[in-house]
Amino acid sequence: MGGQPAMSSGGIDLTNVTITYDRHPAVHHLSGRIEAGSLTAIAGPNGAGKSTLLKAIMGELKPAEGKIIKGFTASDIGYLPQAAEINRRFPISVLDTVMLGAWKRSGAFRAVGRQDMIKAGDALSAVGLEGFERRPVGSLSAGQFQRVLFARLLLQDAPLILLDEPFTAIDARTTRDLIDIVCRWHGEGRTVVAVLHDFDQVRAHFPQTLLIARELIAWGRTEEALSPANLLTARAMAERWDENAAICEPAA
Amino acid sequence: MSAYDLLIAPFQDYGFMRRALVACLCLALGAGPMGVFLMMRRMSLMGDALSHAVLPGAAIGYLIAGSLSLTAMGLGGLVAGLSVALLSGLVSRATVLQEDASFASFYLTSLALGVLIVSLRGSNIDLLHVLFGTILAIDNEALTLIGGITSITLVALAVIYRPLVAECFDPGFLRAVGGRGPLYHVAFLLLVVLNLVASFQALGTLMAVGLMMLPAAIAQLWARTLPGMLAVSAGTAFASGYIGLIASYHLELASGPTIIITASIFYGLSILVGPAGIARKYFPRPHLTG
């Protein structure tokens, strides 16, 4: 994709963020800053609030307390959710799916420009799916479909990219290809935040890590954040709610 | 009996047959594609629920106009159908009830209310007309209304096609890019209700969705792309209308149900021999090399 100039404007500031389901905190009093242009992994055990935090950054969930201030507008964000909400049986072609990524420029009614058509083709070859243009998405495997969604993200050309468990159920080779794309985004100066549960992947490819187990455990350079002591703390998190939890008083 | 007597003469001889045929064409062009989108949104039964929801409004229109006037009944039906659609949407957002559950509750209320209102003033004949339609009694006024609704539907579908497809396929993405999905959802529901009002006089409240859902199901068995499905759906809807009218004329059957039965026969055949049907499943073609 075309080399985007370094997008240094605005990171993401999280101030005392608490996000709740049914009043129980899924993310509890979390503060910190995602630097612009950084490549950050959100890691932690199951139920640690990783996806919840990502959704809050995305703007889909509202924090019960605290603030998330983004140096990005909504149209600057490319978001790859865990593929639950997509209707895979819908009769749409691979190319049309990728071209949805041009939405910021084409919108609901304008024509999709020739440039975006070419970019869509390039994006498909970048994820190794040349020749799949006319295939219906229903005929793709899970890994191929994930690559289509990556191609759509490529076309979106967003300065902030949020990925929720992007490599789940995907074979090693495809994962490597997709990680290459993520690294390239980082090289182009985009801010990338990915929710991951595979610590080895995080260590290998992500310079920054936010380790969370409902509370923030550690946030900083990956090797420090994922120290054995921190991982032990994260693992000790009780996964179930305390049904009789008291109201959390503001810290004095 | 020559082919001319069989296929063309009924329409040449009788104005009511011609109007019925034109009505079928309009309904097919509008309702057929709507059915495909309903099915793609997994709202097949929602269409049925909405068609019942139209009833009390139509009944009140009928009471006010004092006769089976499609304009009055259509307006009333439109208001009632839309209210139910929006109220169920609101209830499902405000409570734990899923949209289908709140739809079911609202349309049952509507249906009961509608039958009650009709039986308050009308005769049993009127009730029968409201429930099962009178496609052979369509006059020019009604035809204009149906044609107008079809025109609006086709233009609106063309305009909102892309966001509607995005909303059906990946609502999360549309939300993420700020695509105003709910707006198109409501516009879509409005179109569904409009088309139900159009088929209301022809097929009655109980079968108004017949030319919507049966052709849509048939289309899914034959076509693999969305435009293909839309075309197959509209085409089979019209074919059912035409063949149903001819059959009802020659065999002296009630026309509305005959049209729906014709569509059902198409549906049965498609299940058997369609590319996505049973025959292909048990007698597969040999596989390819790569």
Cβ contact, residue pair B226, A79, below 8 Å:
no
CA-based nearest distance A17→chain B, Å: 21
Lowest average pLDDT, out of A18-32, A112-126, A230-244, goes to A230-244
Spatial separation of the C-alpha atoms in residues A101 and B177, rounded to whole Å: 9
Tens digits of per-residue pLDDT, B92-144? 777 888 877 888 888 888 888 888 887 887 677 777 777 788 888 888 888 99
Q: Please, what sign has the CA dihedral across residues A168, A173, A174, A178?
A: positive
Determine contact: A74 vs chain B, CB below 8 A.
Answer: yes
On whether the CB atoms of residues B241 and B235 are closer than 8 A, the answer is no
Cβ contact, residue pair A87, B168, below 8 Å:
yes
Q: Which residues of B touch A (CB under 8 A)?
A: 40, 42, 159-160, 162-163, 165-166, 168-173, 175-180, 184, 223-226, 228-229
A residues 125-184 lying closer than 8 A (beta carbon) to B: 136, 152, 156
Q: Average pLDDT over chain A, rounded to whole?
A: 87
For residue B74, CA distances in Å to A54, B60, B81, B129, B195 come to 48, 10, 10, 14, 10
Cβ contact, residue pair A91, B225, below 8 Å:
yes
Q: Which two tokens stand for residue A148?
A: 């289509």
Q: What is the pTM of this model?
A: 0.85
Residues composing chain B: 290
Tens digits of per-residue pLDDT, A171-181? 888 899 999 99
Q: Looking at residue B1, what is its pLDDT?
A: 75
Q: Looking at residue A150, what is its pLDDT?
A: 92
pLDDT in tens, chain B (290 residues): 788 888 999 999 999 999 999 999 999 999 999 999 999 988 888 888 888 888 888 888 877 876 667 778 888 888 988 888 888 878 877 788 887 788 888 888 888 888 888 788 767 777 777 778 888 888 888 899 899 999 999 999 999 999 999 999 998 888 888 878 888 988 998 999 999 988 887 888 788 889 999 999 999 999 999 999 999 999 999 999 999 999 999 999 989 999 999 999 999 999 998 888 888 888 888 888 87
Residue A1 has pLDDT above 50, yes or no: no
Cα A116 to chain centroid distance, Å, stands at 23
On whether the CB atoms of residues B149 and B198 are closer than 8 A, the answer is yes
**Nearest C-alpha in A relative to B223:** A91
Return the percentage of chain B with pLDDT > 70, whole number: 99
On whether the CB atoms of residues B82 and B54 are closer than 8 A, the answer is no
For residue B197, CA distances in Å to A229, B80, B207 come to 67, 10, 12
Best residue of B37, B38, B177 to probe chain A, by most A CBs closer than 10 Å: B177
What are the chain A neighbours of B165 within 8 Å (beta carbons)? 90, 92, 96
Which residues are A69's β-sheet partners? A13
Q: Looking at residue A239, what is its pLDDT?
A: 67
CA-based nearest distance A51→chain B, Å: 15
**Nearest C-alpha in B relative to A162:** B176
Q: Looking at residue A251, what is its pLDDT?
A: 56
Which residues are A30's β-sheet partners? A17
Selection from A6, A63, A2 nearest residue A190 by Cα: A6
Q: For chain A, how many helices (H) and strands (E)?
A: 9, 9
Decide: helix, strand or coil at residue B2.
coil
How many Cβ atoms from other residues are within 10 Å of residue B42's Cβ?
A: 12
Query: CB-CB: which of B42, B168, B179 is closest to A103?
Result: B179
Q: Which two tokens stand for residue A207?
A: 């310079």
Cβ contact, residue pair A136, B224, below 8 Å:
yes
Query: A178: burial class by Cβ within 10 Å (0-12, 13-18, 19+)?
Result: buried
What are the chain B neighbours of A156 within 8 Å (beta carbons)? 177
Instruction: Enter the ipTM.
Output: 0.81
Residue A111 has pLDDT above 90, yes or no: no
Query: B23: burial class by Cβ within 10 Å (0-12, 13-18, 19+)?
Result: buried
**Nearest C-alpha in B relative to A138:** B224
Spatial separation of the C-alpha atoms in residues A67 and A105, rounded to whole Å: 30
Spatial separation of the C-alpha atoms in residues A43 and B152, rounded to whole Å: 51
Residue A188 has pLDDT above 90, yes or no: yes
Spatial separation of the C-alpha atoms in residues A156 and B130, rounded to whole Å: 51
**Nearest C-alpha in A relative to B159:** A109
Q: Looking at residue A84, what is its pLDDT?
A: 61
CATH assignment of B3-282, given 1.10.3470.10, 3.40.190.10, 2.120.10.80, 1.25.40.80? 1.10.3470.10
Decide: helix, strand or coil at residue A26.
strand
For residue B268, CA distances in Å to B35, B162, B210, B218, B219 come to 18, 32, 14, 9, 12
What are the chain A neighbours of B170 within 8 Å (beta carbons)? 85-87, 100
Number of cross-chain residue pairs from A and B with Cβ atoms under 8 Å apart: 63
What are the chain A neighbours of B156 within 8 Å (beta carbons)? none
Q: Looking at residue A3, what is its pLDDT?
A: 43
Helices (H), ranges, B66-139: 70-94, 99-121, 124-132
Spatial separation of the C-alpha atoms in residues A49 and A44, rounded to whole Å: 8
Spatial separation of the C-alpha atoms in residues A178 and A172, rounded to whole Å: 10
Q: How far separated are the first and last CA of chain A, in Å rounded?
A: 50
